[in-house]
């Protein structure tokens, strides 16, 4: 039978049919991929809802002044999400299409189509406004008038909140990069959770309504540092899934505004619930390259990496079962990366001169870097140590005290130094204003508190990465001060802290363990140096444990270990302190606050606040965050796998 009519039309219809037939299996395959990720990340019983992403961005207005970057930022975030994360539906309104009516229509459509197990991400970038008289904030659509009394086609933040609250989706996450967005959210989001596998399962099982804004009730610059950090964080994220807390921890330190994270006011946010982005899996090929996972059903050789470091030279041998994978000499102080090892368990052995050998059993996991650290020191004859002369940057503040140095501590001789960083220091922050500080003598722990030490005192080990010599992590500031008191009590010392719930008072005339002040920490870290790091003008991953993919100030890339390393794995600074740069952030006593003006003597920070200071950077941070002057802060109840502490004690 012949089909009569326009042949071109039939050819187009047949082509469309073929395309649809081809795409259907791919869509199903993408859903199966998400189901696999969900099973790994949040449990096999989790229900897979549709993943929605909505982008509303406006550069060109009918009456308001034009902007430069909102649409560009929105499209770049869209591209990052579609390339790296699972998405089912993308909705977009840009410029003249982003009218007040169309924005309402879009939310009405979402209310009709989104299911009860779905997740909806909304990104808005454009003008915002707050009415001082009514204390109401607004989104400014493309067709909004400029009359501040008529407020024609303005979209009140309360209406945005209500439209988001009305969505049937289980998870909703709004990111608003606009002026005066702060009244959309309630910043009282509770205690920052401990991030582990149970957290993700709990978070996905409970309803969430979350908001992150680029600023509070303030103007936001057109060129958005917030958007740049957000894009960078989404692009570089690791793991199966990420949540708004992770994003916020990376964008909150913008210099121009005060980003906020909270829940949508007046909504059914369940305690512990959170939106999650699910990453498409990747396979590591050659160093520096990442490729999507092959089609389901294809054979995949899963690989990871291994880094071997040793204090003493010897012969390295790696075995898998009875098979020798490789053998070579390794020099003292070397850190040897071995890439593209098949996933599995290996025996790593170093033979030293004199017949001594050291073996470790290491498990290489997919797309992760395992670490084997050999710390054998050959016996040496006793020798006389020449005292280190005082450096020009250190002026003695008092004579050395007679009290003996406790085991595991060093005496930090008091002196005067320039705290903060000069304006000429690369990637420095405006909060690091240089000022002269004099610090009295004190004792400081050579190492970060280990898991073995914490377990012995507290009877528990909260750490994600387990090992007696690894630093304890996943400890809040409150956990740290409780440990100080408990250890002091065990050893018969007078307690440094009086703890009454969340109120902690420092009793300065005591002998017990305590956290260092921020000034003490930086003074001890610098050890007489004035460079960005105690290692000099730059730092490498052979000198500290941090994300080697993010070096400081144009330095060469290095190793990213994705884990903590045993304390003392790297060379100490000139005063005998280890890991002051990297491994885990270290809690300090001080509340967050600006530095005081003029010279100071033993400053202790602000008298109150919302966040406590932490210093030193961690294993998953960039080189910039390891600088001696780098300031960071966290809510004192927060816990993280890259956050620990070290001890101080008075020396008088």
Residues 207 and 289 in one domain: no
pLDDT digits (tens, 9 = 90+) for 617-647: 999 999 999 999 999 988 898 888 899 999 9
pLDDT value for 531: 94
Q: Is 611 a member of any domain?
A: no
Residues 103 and 219 in one domain: yes
How far apart, in whole angstroms, are the C-alpha atoms of residue 633 and residue 586?
Answer: 10
pLDDT digits (tens, 9 = 90+) for 370-389: 878 887 777 644 333 333 33
Confidence of residue 123 (pLDDT cuts 50, 70, 90): very high
Residues 206 and 341 in one domain: no
What are φ and ψ of residue 25, in 5° steps?
-60, -35
pLDDT value for 261: 85
Residues 289 and 221 in one domain: no
Q: Is the pLDDT of residue 393 over 60?
A: no
How far apart, in whole angstroms, are the C-alpha atoms of residue 565 and residue 371?
Answer: 8
Q: Is 574 a member of any domain?
A: no
Residues 345 and 202 in one domain: no
Q: Is the pLDDT of residue 131 over 90?
A: no
Q: Is 560 a member of any domain?
A: no
Which residue would you say has higher pLDDT here, 636 or 401?
Answer: 636
Q: Is 289 a member of any domain?
A: yes
Which residue would you say has higher pLDDT here, 168 or 137?
Answer: 168
CATH number at residue 361: 2.60.40.10
CATH number at residue 194: 3.40.50.1460
Residues 150 and 208 in one domain: yes
Mean pLDDT, all residues of the chain: 81
Residues 204 and 60 in one domain: yes
Ordered DSSP codes for 419-486: ES--TTSTT--TT---EEEEE--EEEESSPPBHHHHHHHHS----SS--TTSBP-S--HHHHHHHHHH
pLDDT digits (tens, 9 = 90+) for 148-198: 889 999 999 889 988 988 899 999 999 998 876 556 665 444 444 444 556
Q: Is 235 a member of any domain?
A: yes
- Total structural domains within the chain: 2
Domain residues for the domain of 77 are 50-278
Q: Is 325 a member of any domain?
A: yes
What are φ and ψ of residue 585, in 5° steps?
-60, 155
Confidence of residue 219 (pLDDT cuts 50, 70, 90): low
Q: Which of 374, 405, 431 is the last residue of a domain?
A: 374
pLDDT value for 403: 64
- Return the SS3 of 130: strand
pLDDT value for 96: 92
pLDDT value for 254: 66
Strands, sheet with 314-320, edge to edge from the N-terminal-most edge strand: 323-330, 314-320, 344-351, 357-364
């Amino acid at each position: 039978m012949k089909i009569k009519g326009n042949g071109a039309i039939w050819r187009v219809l047949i082509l469309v049919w073929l395309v649809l037939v081809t795409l259907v299996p791919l869509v199903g395959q993408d859903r199966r991929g998400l189901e696999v990720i969900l099973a790994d990340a949040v449990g096999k019983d989790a229900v897979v809802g549709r993943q929605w992403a909505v982008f509303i961005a406006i550069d060109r207005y009918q009456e308001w002044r034009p902007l430069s970057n909102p649409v560009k930022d929105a499209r770049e975030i869209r591209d990052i999400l579609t390339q790296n994360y699972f998405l089912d539906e993308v909705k977009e309104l840009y410029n003249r299409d982003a009218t007040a009516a169309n924005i309402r229509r879009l939310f009405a459509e979402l209310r009709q189509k989104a299911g009860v197990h779905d997740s909806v991400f909304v990104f808005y970038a454009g003008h915002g406004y707050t009415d001082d008289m009514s204390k109401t904030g607004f989104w400014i659509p493309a067709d909004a008038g400029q009359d501040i009394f008529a407020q024609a086609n303005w979209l009140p933040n309360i209406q945005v909140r209500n439209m988001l609250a009305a969505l049937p989706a289980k998870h909703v996450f709004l990111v608003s990069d606009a002026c005066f967005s702060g009244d959309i959210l309630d910043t009282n989001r509770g205690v920052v959770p401990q991030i582990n596998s149970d957290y993700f399962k709990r978070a996905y099982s409970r309803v969430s309504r979350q908001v992150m804004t680029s600023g509070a009730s303030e103007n936001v610059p057109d060129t958005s540092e917030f958007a740049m950090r957000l894009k960078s964080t989404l692009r570089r994220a690791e793991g199966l899934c990420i949540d708004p807390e992770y994003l916020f921890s990376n964008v909150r330190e913008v210099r121009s505004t005060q980003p906020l994270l909270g829940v949508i006011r007046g909504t059914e946010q369940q305690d512990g619930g959170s939106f999650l982005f699910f990453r498409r899996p990747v396979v590591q090929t050659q160093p520096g390259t990442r490729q999507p996972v092959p089609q389901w059903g294809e054979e995949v050789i899963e690989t990871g990496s291994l880094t071997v470091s040793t204090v003493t030279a010897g012969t390295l041998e790696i075995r898998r079962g009875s098979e020798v994978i490789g053998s070579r000499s390794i020099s003292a102080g070397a850190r040897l990366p071995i890439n593209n090892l098949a996933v599995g368990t290996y025996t790593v052995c170093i033979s030293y001169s004199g017949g001594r050998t050291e073996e470790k059993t290491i498990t290489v996991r997919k797309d992760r870097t395992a670490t084997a650290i050999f710390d054998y020191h050959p016996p040496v004859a006793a020798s006389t140590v020449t005292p280190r002369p005082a450096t020009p940057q250190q002026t003695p503040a008092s004579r050395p005290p007679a009290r003996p140095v406790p085991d595991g501590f060093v005496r930090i001789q008091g002196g005067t130094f320039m705290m903060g960083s000069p304006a000429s220091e690369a990637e420095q922050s405006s909060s690091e204003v240089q000022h002269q500080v004099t610090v009295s003598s004190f004792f400081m722990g050579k190492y970060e508190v280990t898991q073995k030490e914490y377990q012995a005192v507290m009877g528990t080990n909260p750490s994600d990465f387990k090992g007696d010599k690894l630093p304890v992590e996943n400890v809040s500031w409150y956990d740290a001060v409780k440990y100080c008191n408990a250890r002091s009590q065990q050893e018969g010392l007078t307690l440094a802290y009086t703890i009454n719930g969340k109120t902690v008072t420092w009793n300065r005339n005591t002998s017990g363990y305590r956290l260092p002040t921020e000034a003490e920490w930086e003074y001890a870290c610098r050890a007489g140096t004035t460079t960005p790091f105690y290692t000099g003008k730059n730092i490498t991953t052979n000198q500290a444990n941090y994300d080697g993919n993010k070096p400081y100030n144009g330095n060469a890339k290095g190793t990213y270990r994705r884990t903590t390393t045993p304390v003392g794995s790297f060379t100490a600074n000139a005063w005998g302190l280890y890991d002051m740069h990297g491994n885990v952030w270290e809690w300090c006593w001080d509340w967050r606050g600006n530095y005081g003006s003029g010279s100071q003597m033993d400053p202790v920070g602000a008298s109150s606040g919302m966040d406590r200071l932490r210093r030193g950077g961690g294993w998953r941070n960039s080189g910039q965050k390891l600088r001696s002057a780098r300031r960071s802060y966290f809510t004192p109840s927060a816990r993280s796998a890259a956050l620990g502490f070290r001890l101080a004690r008075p020396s008088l």
